[in-house]
Amino acid sequence: MHLIALTGGIASGKSTVAHRWQERGAVIVDADALAREVVAPGSPALDQIVQRFGPEMLHGDGALNRQALGAVIFGDDDARRALNGITHPAIGRLAQARFDDAAGEDANAIVVYDIPLLVETAQSLDRFALVATVEAAPEVRIQRLIDHRSMTRDEAEGRIASQATSAQRRAVADFVIDTDGTLGDTQQRADDVWDLIVRRLSTAL
């Protein structure tokens, strides 16, 4: 099993690249999906969140009240660290289980860990055979957030500013995929990098 990290900031086009690679045969493990899974009703992580932040973190049906939790941790570094201390280990364990499942099904599988916060969470890069980052110009990303997520310009700029910079992601990446162009352009660049990844992995065997 070959483990590849795919990262990129909000509205960078990373999901488009991940989908394209899945079409090319990659097994995708989505960190954002895992983050939602580990706080499902009845999960240990959700119980810990309630113990730490209070019962108002739950909706009536027992699901996490994301808006309430977001209001608590916004601008509070200690609260954010406490939340990360609960969720990140749980996400890591679940991700490893998915990696192991993929390896059990195909010893030669190329598993792509779609992890937006690769840099921000100080992941150990030694576990990855290769790292790819997806990026677009700030103005392109801002416009995508305005058009597709109904954010104001200030909200979009704030979200981008809260994440790692493109330079920080490039510093850990083996490949950079630019998504400033059309969907077709992005898919072609994703294909080109995928071919390079497959070639690199083949020569490493």
Q: What global pTM score does this model have?
A: 0.90
pLDDT at 205: 57
Tens digit of pLDDT at every position of the chain (205 positions): 999 999 999 999 999 999 999 999 999 999 999 999 999 999 999 999 999 999 999 999 999 999 899 888 877 889 989 999 999 999 999 999 999 999 999 999 999 999 999 998 878 899 999 999 999 999 999 999 999 998 899 989 988 988 899 999 999 999 999 999 999 999 999 999 999 999 999 886 5
Residues 8 and 175 sit within 8 Å (Cβ to Cβ): no
C-alpha count within 13 angstroms, C-beta hemisphere, residue 7: 27
Position 108 scores a pLDDT of 92
Give the domain range for residue 45: 2-204
Is 103:97 a contact under the CB 8 Å cutoff? Answer: no
CATH of the domain at 181: 3.40.50.300
pLDDT of amino acid 169: 95
For position 195, what pLDDT does the model report? 97
What domain count does the chain have?
Answer: 1
Question: What is the per-residue pLDDT for 127?
Answer: 92
